[in-house]
């Protein structure tokens, strides 16, 4: 990555890429008339509803509704950001991208990142060599063997061994010309407190390289061979590693995840290895961190449901419920796989075999079920406790997007707790109302959550920009940066998404010019007032990755925010009318007050 790609180059890459050839790398296509059809790679199906139009350089699935051009296809299927998809297709097409010149500061950062990747590569090679070839690596090989893994697994995952020495890696890196400061930044070595020099962070450990989605090593996890503590050490965060955004095994698992539409989420490296090898390749590990919202969004790019398989103890349950909340906020259904207590996926598969695990997988149950059971079990005392527990459950039930599901859980809760169903329904209704009842919600503080996904840039309390509301701005960004969203908005009609004249006008203009995005800027400058074009142009320069994701979910989120925004606006207007009426000396007309009440 060296800069920003010009829009005319993007068009050139699009035109020079044969969409049939690209899609054929992932999907078996058959010609039918002007189209090619095949089984959709984005949802599971038995008869083909995925079609590619060679002439229009466009794909569409009648089953799940996805569609777009070569870039959106590659982004979706490989989980890439827009610029990376462009770069990859440019390389294929033999087009050289002259990218925008970076500022000196950006250029320094880019160079640093490149150096950091290289140092991690050197370290991964060194650890791997030690494990596979060196006599001193025997202890690592023995350990792996004892856990049931041979050279094949070690090779596939590029596992390594860090010697039980203080300066082995540091010395090697220096011999290979790596910069000491870079190795420190990555946390591979640390300065000694006394006497100068550095010492290795990973010593006497089996090493797991952690990859990003491009297959670059961004960090390491190291497991102690014996019973020493801590059992695991991970690389600290660095400019190339943010633990909240990386999952161990995702690079290897993503194709299987997409095909099956599901992912098994486990805690440890060996859990991931064990299931992958046992024939369940759709598995990733959190590596000792709680599942974050970013993790949830990342998973959502590939799967429709997540199967949680954490340790079968109290800590594992807490981790499970945390993950449930993170996933629920992203609208991803989650289920729990249960194992006999004391077993982990690794031990279970080794002792019981893959078939037994498959059965457990089929028996997975909704995480909400387990949550309810767990909360109610902790409240077997008096009525007070039970009511309190029911409230805790209802708070989570309120987070479900499907009202039928909510209803079923309430019935279940009534049955299990003995509390009257009507009462539970009422509590749920109150819980759902809560954000709207916040006293200052019509005074400029947007109700939470403003955008379910993706994270909308800028603080939630920022004043609205002149011209349009923030949800409308989000939809404008989708029009500019997300081809699928563009098509859906175009099909649904603008009136569903815009209510201020300025936003409507801009959106209309953007939709008319589907063919040539490189002319957007000129067009916007030519056709819009300067203050309006001044608002649009910054939106064009936003990172497209912020607006990537499942289009249905994105648009649903936008619509919900828009509705809240519209309601807020109506309330403000009504309130203003009431105030004016008050100031004019007579109390507001009954109907105005009534209207205001209705708007609540």
The tokens for 332 are 């991803």
By CB under 5 A, residue 61 contacts Zn ion: yes
By CB under 5 A, residue 303 contacts Zn ion: no
Minimum CB distance to Zn ion smaller for 72 or for 238: 72
Distance CA 64, CA 56 (A): 20
By CB under 5 A, residue 71 contacts Zn ion: no
Site residues (CB under 5 A) for Zn ion, limited to 389-448: none
Distance CA 409, CA 249 (A): 34
Distance CA 27, CA 441 (A): 49
Minimum CB distance to Zn ion smaller for 27 or for 349: 27
Provide the 8-state DSSP code for 449.
P
| Interface residue with Zn ion, options 9, 43, 203, 317 (CB under 5 A) | 43
- Region of 56-64, 99-107, 281-289, 483-491 interacting with Zn ion (CB under 5 A): 56-64
Determine how β-strand 334-336 pairs with β-strand 305-309: parallel
| Interface residue with Zn ion, options 22, 29, 42, 201 (CB under 5 A) | 42
Q: Which of 439, 446, 438, 442 is nearest to 472 (CA)?
A: 446
By CB under 5 A, residue 261 contacts Zn ion: no
By CB under 5 A, residue 64 contacts Zn ion: yes
CB of 49 to Zn ion, least distance (A): 6
CB of 261 to Zn ion, least distance (A): 10
CB of 44 to Zn ion, least distance (A): 9
Site residues (CB under 5 A) for Zn ion, limited to 22-41: 40
Site residues (CB under 5 A) for Zn ion, limited to 450-489: none
Q: Which residues of 288-310 are buried (b: 16+ CB within 10 A; e: fewer)?
A: beebbbbbbbbbbbbbbbbbbbb
The tokens for 229 are 């503590």
- Region of 59-67, 95-103, 168-176, 240-248 interacting with Zn ion (CB under 5 A): 59-67
Minimum CB distance to Zn ion smaller for 234 or for 260: 260
Minimum CB distance to Zn ion smaller for 64 or for 361: 64
Q: Residue 99: helix, strand or coil by DSSP?
A: strand
Minimum CB distance to Zn ion smaller for 73 or for 269: 73
| Residues constituting the chain | 600
Minimum CB distance to Zn ion smaller for 51 or for 406: 51
CB of 57 to Zn ion, least distance (A): 19
Site residues (CB under 5 A) for Zn ion, limited to 494-513: none
CB of 253 to Zn ion, least distance (A): 20
Q: Is the sign of the CA dihedral 471, 475, 480, 485 positive or negative?
A: positive
Minimum CB distance to Zn ion smaller for 43 or for 569: 43
The answer to whether the beta carbons of residues 5 and 99 sit under 8 Å apart is: yes
Site residues (CB under 5 A) for Zn ion, limited to 310-369: none
Minimum CB distance to Zn ion smaller for 64 or for 575: 64
CB of 24 to Zn ion, least distance (A): 17
CB of 76 to Zn ion, least distance (A): 10
Q: Tell me the CB-side half-sphere exposure of residue 111, using CA atoms within 13 A.
A: 8
- The continuous run of DSSP H or E covering 209 comes out as strand 205-211
Minimum CB distance to Zn ion smaller for 65 or for 293: 65
Per the listing, tokens 């923030």 go with 470
- Region of 57-65, 234-242, 391-399, 495-503 interacting with Zn ion (CB under 5 A): 57-65
Distance CA 485, CA 67 (A): 9
CB of 61 to Zn ion, least distance (A): 3
Count the neighbouring beta carbons within 10 Å of the beta carbon of residue 571. 18
- Region of 64-72, 73-81, 374-382, 493-501 interacting with Zn ion (CB under 5 A): 64-72
The three state secondary structure string of 367-425 is: HHHHHHHHHHHCCCCCHHHHHHHHHHHHHHHCCCCCHHHHHHHHHHHHHHHCCCHHHHH
Q: Tell me the CB-side half-sphere exposure of residue 482, using CA atoms within 13 A.
A: 24
Minimum CB distance to Zn ion smaller for 235 or for 260: 260
Q: How many residues of this chain interact with Zn ion, rule: CB under 5 A? A: 6
Per-residue binding string, Zn ion, 81-110, x by CB under 5 A, is ------------------------------
C-alpha 599: how far from chain center: 35
The tokens for 33 are 């008339």
Determine how β-strand 198-200 pairs with β-strand 365-366: unpaired
CB of 436 to Zn ion, least distance (A): 36
CB of 115 to Zn ion, least distance (A): 41
CB of 454 to Zn ion, least distance (A): 22
CB of 43 to Zn ion, least distance (A): 4
- The continuous run of DSSP H or E covering 25 comes out as none
CB of 468 to Zn ion, least distance (A): 33
CB of 50 to Zn ion, least distance (A): 6
Minimum CB distance to Zn ion smaller for 59 or for 220: 59
Q: Residue 169: helix, strand or coil by DSSP?
A: helix
Minimum CB distance to Zn ion smaller for 42 or for 161: 42
Q: Residue 124: helix, strand or coil by DSSP?
A: helix
Q: Is the sign of the CA dihedral 385, 389, 394, 395 positive or negative?
A: positive
Q: In what order do the strands lie in the sheet with 365-366?
A: 283-285, 262-266, 305-309, 334-336, 365-366
Minimum CB distance to Zn ion smaller for 12 or for 45: 45
- Region of 62-70, 119-127, 145-153, 230-238 interacting with Zn ion (CB under 5 A): 62-70
- Region of 53-61, 238-246, 323-331, 504-512 interacting with Zn ion (CB under 5 A): 53-61
| Interface residue with Zn ion, options 16, 18, 44, 63 (CB under 5 A) | 63
Minimum CB distance to Zn ion smaller for 44 or for 252: 44
Distance CA 28, CA 366 (A): 34
Distance CA 361, CA 338 (A): 8
Return residues touching Zn ion (CB under 5 A).
40, 42-43, 61, 63-64
């Amino acid at each position: 990555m060296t800069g920003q790609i010009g829009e005319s180059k993007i068009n050139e890459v699009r035109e020079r890429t044969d969409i049939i050839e690209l899609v054929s790398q992932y999907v078996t296509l058959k010609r039918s008339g002007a189209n090619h059809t095949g089984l959709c790679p984005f949802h599971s199906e038995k008869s083909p509803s995925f079609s590619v139009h060679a002439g229009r350089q466009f794909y569409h699935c009648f089953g799940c509704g996805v569609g777009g051009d070569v870039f959106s296809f590659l982004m979706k299927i490989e989980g890439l950001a827009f610029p990376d998809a462009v770069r990859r297709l440019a390389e294929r097409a033999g087009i050289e991208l002259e990218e925008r010149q970076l500022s000196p500061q950006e250029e320094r950062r880019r160079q640093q990142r490149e150096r950091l990747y290289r140092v991690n590569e050197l370290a991964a090679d060194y650890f791997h060599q030690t494990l596979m070839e060196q006599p001193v690596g025997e202890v690592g090989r023995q350990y792996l063997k004892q856990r049931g893994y041979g050279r094949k697994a070690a090779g596939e995952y590029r596992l390594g061994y860090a010697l039980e020495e203080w300066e082995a890696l540091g010395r090697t890196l220096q011999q290979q010309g790596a910069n000491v400061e870079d190795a420190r930044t990555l946390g591979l070595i640390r300065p000694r407190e006394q006497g100068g020099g550095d010492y290795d962070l990973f010593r006497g450990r089996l090493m797991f390289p952690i990859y990003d989605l491009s297959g670059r090593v961004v960090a390491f996890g190291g497991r102690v061979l014996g019973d020493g503590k801590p059992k695991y050490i991970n690389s600290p965060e660095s400019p190339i590693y943010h633990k909240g955004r990386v999952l161990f095994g995702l690079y290897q698992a993503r194709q299987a995840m997409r095909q099956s539409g599901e992912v098994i989420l486990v805690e440890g490296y060996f859990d991931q290895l064990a299931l992958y090898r046992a024939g369940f390749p759709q598995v990733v590990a959190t590596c000792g961190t709680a599942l974050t919202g970013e993790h949830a969004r990342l998973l959502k790019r590939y799967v429709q449901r997540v199967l949680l398989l954490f340790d079968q103890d109290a800590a594992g349950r807490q981790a499970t419920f945390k993950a449930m909340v993170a996933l629920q906020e992203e609208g991803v259904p989650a289920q729990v796989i249960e194992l006999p207590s004391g077993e982990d996926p690794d031990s279970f598969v080794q002792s019981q075999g893959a078939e037994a695990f498959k059965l457990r997988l089929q028996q997975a149950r909704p995480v909400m079920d387990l949550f309810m059971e767990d909360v109610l079990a902790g409240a077997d005392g008096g009525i007070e406790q039970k009511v309190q527990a029911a409230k805790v459950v209802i708070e989570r039930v309120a987070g479900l997007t499907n009202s039928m599901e909510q209803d079923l859980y309430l019935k279940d809760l009534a049955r299990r707790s003995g509390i009257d169903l009507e009462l539970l329904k009422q509590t749920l209704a109150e819980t759902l109302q809560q954000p709207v009842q916040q006293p200052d919600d019509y005074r400029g503080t947007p109700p939470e959550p403003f955008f379910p996904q993706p994270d909308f840039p800028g603080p939630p309390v920022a004043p609205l920009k002149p011209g349009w509301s923030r949800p409308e701005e989000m939809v404008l960004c989708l029009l500019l940066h997300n081809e699928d969203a563009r098509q859906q908005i175009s099909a649904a009609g603008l009136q569903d998404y815009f209510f201020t004249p300025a936003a409507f006008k801009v959106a209309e203009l953007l939709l008319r010019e589907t063919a040539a995005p490189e002319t957007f800027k000129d067009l916007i400058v030519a056709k819009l007032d300067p203050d309006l074009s001044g608002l649009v142009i910054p939106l064009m320069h936003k990172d497209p990755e912020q607006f990537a994701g499942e289009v249905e979910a994105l648009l649903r989120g936008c619509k919900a925010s828009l509705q809240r925004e519209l309601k807020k606006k109506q309330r403000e207007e009504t309130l203003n009318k009431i105030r004016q009426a008050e100031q004019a000396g007579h109390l507001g007309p009954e109907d105005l007050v009534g209207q205001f009440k209705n708007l609540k």
